[in-house]
Amino acid sequence: MARQTQETDGDSEKALLVCVENDATIEPYAVQELMALTDTAGARVLEVFHQHRREPDPAFYIGRGKAEEIRDAETGAELLIVDTELSPTQQRNLQETTNLRVIDRTQLILDIFGQRARTREGKLQVELAQQMYLLPRLMNVYTKFERQQGGIGVRGGAGETKLETDRRKVRDHIGDLEEEIAEVRSQRRQQRNQRGSLPFPTAALVGYTSAGKSTLLNRLTGADVMADAKLFATLDPTTRRVSLPEGWAILLTDTVGFIRNLPHGLVAAFRATLEEVVEADFLIHVVDAAHPEAAVQERSVLSVLDELGAADKAMITVLNKADVAPDRFALTERVAGTDNACTISAKTGEGMQDLMDRIAHTLRSLLVPVRALLPYDKPNLLAQCYKSGRVLSLDYRPEGIALRAELTRDLAGRLSAYAAPFEAEAMID
């Protein structure tokens, strides 16, 4: 196991990092990202231990010998951070052998999310993920499991172990949190329905953490969403209106950033927030084009989108940070070889017109031209046209409302019964 010493100062908690990879090409990036996560959480790195293994050790993850090597290193650290999700057994064995407090990648990310959560919704979702993570690991808290006296008629009461009692409490707490989050999901659904009453399609910004989504939202809308170089700067979705050329407009939502090996518990806990991605008409995938492992980050985002069931949505790939990209020619080639892609710098404004044109093009690709004669006794049909498309012109005739519009395929199909040929020049804007 190789060791890498870091020169740091300050009074932060002192940590050792362990990174195990079976792919040597990923290891430098994995170490860099783990260090960035640790810094974001507020700890300082003393040393980084590297190890190459084909398969993790089932008892220690890194093996007993390597755990003892860390113990004997005498680094003065208080904390050991491992770049994977450890099983309860692996975590307990590492703690007992190294005499350090051991946390894994999932705990580290949960801690960061806990620091970043600002709204009630965000705090509830983080707490749910923390409790779901804690439940199978409660045994680590106890060193002795002595059963209290109990017998017939008192089993499950005084006969419960402290562990069983605490597990039941955590399960009950998880149930309470899920009920509260269900209310949040209902409220968010109502908010989406209210937004749906506006004649604007919806788009969601997705991407790896620190790819520049919030900076892009600020650039497009003039908003003041916090944009920070540290990981997971914002957790709570923000929606703003974006005006486009030719009179188009969309509602654009900034979502929580993704990361490599994003814990499944977080995806589940943040499903209420991530529904903004699922419900959007199309996605804008922001990629940090200046990052040396941009391809790894992009695959990670696509993997989470697949888990959410949103991988097949219409998507614009935005290669951001073009102003600091090391190879502009390679960037140009990448755009040429990617469907519906463009290069921008959200920081400087470079390429924004191209992005706006692509958004307008994507909107047009989602709509179909419709000409219909709507009966006056079905006013809701016209309202749906404004909600789910773009009304180009209307002509109020004795026999009905002559409509020319660009609508979603679903609504166009529902209006097929009212399709009627008529002269466009007879209609009024």
Lookup: tokens for 278: 């699922």
Lookup: tokens for 198: 């506006």
Cα 204–chain centre separation: 11
SS3 (DSSP) at 408: strand
Going across the sheet that includes 44-51, the strands are: 2-5, 44-51, 14-20, 79-82, 101-104
Q: What is the Cα–Cα distance from 345 to 218, expressed in whole angstroms?
A: 12
Q: Mean pLDDT throughout 233-239? A: 71
Which residues on adjacent β-strands are paired with residue 102? 80
CATH class for the domain made up of 199-350: alpha beta
Q: What is the Cα–Cα distance from 407 to 369, expressed in whole angstroms?
A: 7
Residue 230 has pLDDT above 80, yes or no: no
Most confidently modeled range among 59-63, 135-139, 284-288: 284-288
Whether 199-350 and 2-112 are alike in CATH topology: the answer is: yes
Instruction: Give 420's pLDDT tier (boundaries 50, 70, 90).
Output: confident
**Type of residue found at 267:** V
Helix (H) or strand (E) holding 122: helix 120-134
pTM summary value: 0.78
Q: What is the mean pLDDT of the chain?
A: 82
Q: What is the Cα–Cα distance from 192 to 186, expressed in whole angstroms?
A: 10
Options 3.40.50.11060, 3.40.190.10, 3.40.640.10, 3.10.20.600; CATH for 2-112 is 3.40.50.11060
pLDDT in the model for residue 16: 95
DSSP string, 374-408: E-TT-HHHHHHHHHSEEEEEEEEETTEEEEEEEEE
SS3 (DSSP) at 412: helix
Listed by start position, the domains of the chain span 2-112, 118-188, 199-350, 367-426
Q: Which of 333, 253, 330, 338 is nearest to 291 (CA)?
A: 330
Percent of the chain with pLDDT over 90: 38
- Domain 367-426: CATH architecture, name and number where available: 2-Layer Sandwich (3.30)
Per residue in 207-221, pLDDT tens? 998 899 989 999 998
